[in-house]
Amino acid sequence: MACIVKQKVGNNTYLYESTSYRNSEGKPRNKRCLIGKINR
């Protein structure tokens, strides 16, 4: 399942696509891919 995550870093805000999966031990993990910076 993928979703869009907004994260504030310092004075900037970035959008990431977050994909959830389970590792070989069965524990939940996330992979994030940067989409871009939000201009204000």
| Paired tokens of 29 | 């993990």
Cα(29)–Cα(10) distance, integer angstroms: 25
Which residue from 11, 13, 5 is spatially nearest to 30, judged by alpha carbons? 5
Q: What is the per-residue pLDDT for 16?
A: 97
Q: What is the per-residue pLDDT for 2?
A: 87
Q: What is the per-residue pLDDT for 39?
A: 86
Domain ranges, ordered by start, for the chain: 2-39
Neighbours of 39 (CB within 10 A): 6
Residue 39 per-residue DSSP state: P
Quick: pLDDT tens for 1-40. 789 999 999 999 999 999 999 999 999 999 999 999 998 7
Classify strands 12-22 and 2-9 as parallel, antiparallel or unpaired: antiparallel
User: What pTM did the predictor assign?
Assistant: 0.76
